[in-house]
Amino acid sequence: MTGGNRGIGRAIAEAFLAQGDKVAVTTRSGGAPEGALEIKADITDPADIEAAFAVAEAAHGPIEILVANAGITADTLLLRMSDEDWSSVIDTNLTGSFRLAKRAAKSMLRLKRGRIIFISSVVGLLGSPGQVNYAASKAGLVGMARSMARELGSRSITTNVVAPGYVETDMTAVLSDEQKEGIRAQIPLGRYARPEEVAATVTWLAAPEAGYVTGAVIPVDGGLGMGH
Ligand code: NDP
């Protein structure tokens, strides 16, 4: 999985570790949870991705579950958004996830089973002012996942999307108190998610019990998206 050192990714890595799975975690800055195989990789660099898979598969065998979690924001209003703001977010969140899934699918097709899980966002479905680039990248994951679900389904490989709402992590820590309060007021459950609440949906999707779920977008958003 990618970005397993902080926030949602760390909670996902810890949840898999707690159930006894072998977990390889990529990070740029280090700090993977104890028990995980830590691999330095930047997912915007195709060579890093290839090398990360080689290290992970040498240690743990063929990848059975991919969780593409690493992601960034570069928020600003449309007319101020530079090409660099746009392309850095698309390259990390969407193109990075494409590269990871393509490489993981190679192993999974050989195994004739697998789970690909993308971490999208409620913002990809509802939109959000100041997040044209981020919303586009997260919406793109949905079309990508559903196309992969159709391509890979006959080999028992499922491809799904988890769409969290607002979660307490470094990514949302940058919001002002006023912004946070404005968002909270729109969430039926009246609070942000804990990273572990997103992780529980990811481990469920990866489990044998979810073997007939593919091409799905599963919200973990306190009701914010209401089925979108
Ligand atoms: P954080 O900002 O806390 O962590 C981001 C993670 O992504 C870090 O592990 C970081 O690694 C990694 N990462 C970023 N860019 C790269 C890169 N180029 N190559 C490799 N790793 C990279 O984010 P969250 O935990 O909040 O978010 C995780 C995912 O969940 C993201 O995809 C985000 O869009 C999504 N999400 C978050 C929500 C929220 O409210 N927090 C809501 C909905 C979705 P490093 O530490 O090494 O930089």
How much is the ipTM here? 0.98
Q: Do 39 and 26 touch, CB atoms closer than 8 A?
A: yes
Q: How far is the CA of 207 from the centre of ligand 1 (A)?
A: 23
DSSP secondary structure letters along 129-150: TT-HHHHHHHHHHHHHHHHHHH
Question: Is 225 a domain residue?
Answer: no
Question: Is 102 a domain residue?
Answer: yes
Question: Is 228 a domain residue?
Answer: no
Q: Do 14 and 1 touch, CB atoms closer than 8 A?
A: no
Question: Is 108 a domain residue?
Answer: yes
Collapsing DSSP states into helix, strand and coil, what is residue 10? helix
Q: Find the CATH number of the domain harbouring 82.
A: 3.40.50.720
Widest distance between CA atoms in the chain: 51
**Tens place of pLDDT for every residue, the chain, 228 residues?**
999 999 999 999 999 999 999 999 999 999 999 999 999 999 999 999 999 999 999 999 999 999 999 999 999 999 999 999 999 999 999 999 999 999 999 999 999 999 999 999 999 999 999 999 999 999 999 999 999 999 999 999 999 999 999 999 999 998 899 999 999 999 999 999 999 999 999 999 999 999 999 999 999 999 999 977
User: Residue 218 and residue 163: Cα distance in Å, rounded?
Assistant: 6
212 as an active site residue: the answer is no
Give, using CA atoms, the residue closest to atom 27 of ligand 1: 8
Question: Is 226 a domain residue?
Answer: no
The residue type at 188: P
* Domains of the chain: total: 1
Q: How far is the CA of 70 from the centre of ligand 1 (A)?
A: 4
Q: Do 25 and 5 touch, CB atoms closer than 8 A?
A: yes
Question: Is 2 a domain residue?
Answer: no
Collapsing DSSP states into helix, strand and coil, what is residue 63? coil
Q: 33: Cβ below 6 Å to ligand 1?
A: no
User: Residue 67 and residue 43: Cα distance in Å, rounded?
Assistant: 13
